[in-house]
Amino acid sequence: MQNVENKVIIITGASSGIGEETAKVLAKNGAKVVLSARREDRLKELADEIGENAVYMKSDVVNADEMKALVALAKEKFGKVDAVFANAGIMPAGNMSEMKTDDWNRMVDINIKGVLNTMAALLPEFCAQKSGHIIITSSRAGTMSVPGNAVYCGTKHFVRAMLDSFHTESIQEGTNIRTTTIYPGAIKTELLNQVAESKAKEMVSQFYENVGLSPEVIANAVLYAISQPDNVDVSDLVVRPTME
Ligand SMILES: NC(=O)c1ccc[n+]([C@@H]2O[C@H](COP(=O)([O-])OP(=O)(O)OC[C@H]3O[C@@H](n4cnc5c(N)ncnc54)[C@H](OP(=O)(O)O)[C@@H]3O)[C@@H](O)[C@H]2O)c1
């Protein structure tokens, strides 16, 4: 596909769900993919399936050095980096009054600092080459209030505000970096696995079961954004089930 073939694309959260499916779709369209997550066995399986256009590294987005090592691996194996899909994230739920402060901190560490670590590893490359594309998975929760998921909602608002602000900085600095924020609705992945059992989880799970979409629809949205000509910036994409 136009403007995707031979592009080198780093994907965080590639061991399952949206990241895994996006790696498959991008590779099928001729991209070279660099896979990151903590579950190495899942990454290896995916890289084996894709073949020579994939490489992987067990890496945690919370660890800034591991993100730098990921970029180094991409350059060593494929010679450059053209785009990053900063997609790793978690969504444990609960009302604020439940005071699940460990969960709050994990969400801030992974959904916010993890994205920043990924960008910090990439920006020196993208700024120097005056090109690049940063795609981040926010959520529909990043466009509204979500009682029962307030901290998650906040982390997803953060990525939207940060990336949009960065986009203007890139224009001012003449670095020509494209930015895309993706806002998925209910997508059938492993995301709900970490939510503690409760009546609320049962209802949400039922909703996902009834109307949730395949992660392929988000993979196709990422493909669409990347495949545009270099002077076209697809800034925001909300993709949700018709019934949501
Ligand atoms: N599914 C939905 O309905 C939905 C809706 C809106 C937004 N999203 C967002 O979509 C993104 C992908 O989620 P998903 O739905 O595909 O769920 P998923 O299947 O649970 O995938 C989450 C991915 O993030 C990775 N990850 C989690 N913590 C990590 C860490 N510290 N370092 C590196 N990787 C880490 C996981 O890999 P390891 O555990 O192997 O590290 C996994 O590959 C998330 O940002 C999520 O918030 C999902």
From the CA of 13, give the closest atom in ligand 1. 43
Q: What is the pLDDT of residue 141?
A: 98
174 Cα: distance to centroid of ligand 1 (angstroms): 32
Instruction: Tell me the per-residue pLDDT of 165-223, one tens digit each, with 9 for 90 and over.
Output: 999 999 999 999 999 999 999 999 999 998 888 888 898 999 999 999 999 999 999 99
Q: Residue 35: which pLDDT band, with cuts at 50, 70 and 90?
A: very high
Q: Residue 83: which pLDDT band, with cuts at 50, 70 and 90?
A: very high
Q: Residue 15: which pLDDT band, with cuts at 50, 70 and 90?
A: very high
- Lowest pLDDT segment from 31-35, 174-178, 195-199, 225-229: 195-199
CATH number for the domain including 27? 3.40.50.720
Q: Which domain holds residue 68?
A: 8-238
**Is residue 41 in a domain?**
yes
Any ligand 1 atom below 6 A from CB of 18: yes
1 CB contacts (<8 Å, ≥6 apart)? 29, 30, 223, 227
Any ligand 1 atom below 6 A from CB of 132: no
Any ligand 1 atom below 6 A from CB of 137: yes
From the CA of 138, give the closest atom in ligand 1. 7
Any ligand 1 atom below 6 A from CB of 110: yes
**Is residue 192 in a domain?**
yes
- Rg of the chain on CA atoms, in Å: 17
Q: What is the pLDDT of residue 182?
A: 98
**Is residue 151 in a domain?**
yes
Could you confirm whether 152 is annotated as catalytic?
Answer: yes
Mean pLDDT of the chain: 97
Which tokens hold the place of 160? 């939207």
Counting the structural domains of the chain, the total is: 1
Pocket test residue of 66, 137, 155, 156 for ligand 1, highest count of atoms within 8 A of CB? 137
Please answer whether residues 234 and 180 qualify as being in contact, where contact means their C-beta atoms are separated by less than 8 angstroms: yes
Q: How many other CB atoms are found less than 10 A from the CB of residue 231?
A: 7
16 Cα: distance to centroid of ligand 1 (angstroms): 7
More confident residue, 195 or 151: 151
Any ligand 1 atom below 6 A from CB of 139: yes
Which residue, 179, 155, 181, 158, is CA-closest to 167? 179
User: How large is the average pLDDT for residues 16-26?
Assistant: 98
Percentage of the chain lying above the pLDDT 90 cut: 95
Pocket test residue of 12, 18, 209 for ligand 1, highest count of atoms within 8 A of CB? 18
- Lowest pLDDT segment from 31-45, 105-119, 121-135, 198-212: 198-212
User: How large is the average pLDDT for residues 115-132?
Assistant: 98
**Is residue 1 in a domain?**
no
User: How large is the average pLDDT for residues 104-114?
Assistant: 98
**Is residue 244 in a domain?**
no
**Is residue 205 in a domain?**
yes
**Is residue 42 in a domain?**
yes
Q: Residue 2: which pLDDT band, with cuts at 50, 70 and 90?
A: confident
From the CA of 212, give the closest atom in ligand 1. 3
In the predicted structure, residue 1 carries a pLDDT above the cut 70: no
Catalytic residue chosen out of the listed positions 56, 152, 183, 208: 152
User: CB pairs under 8 A, 24+ apart, for 38-45?
Assistant: 39/15, 42/15, 42/16, 43/14, 43/15
From the CA of 18, give the closest atom in ligand 1. 16
Which residue, 55, 79, 59, 44, is CA-closest to 13? 59
**Is residue 243 in a domain?**
no
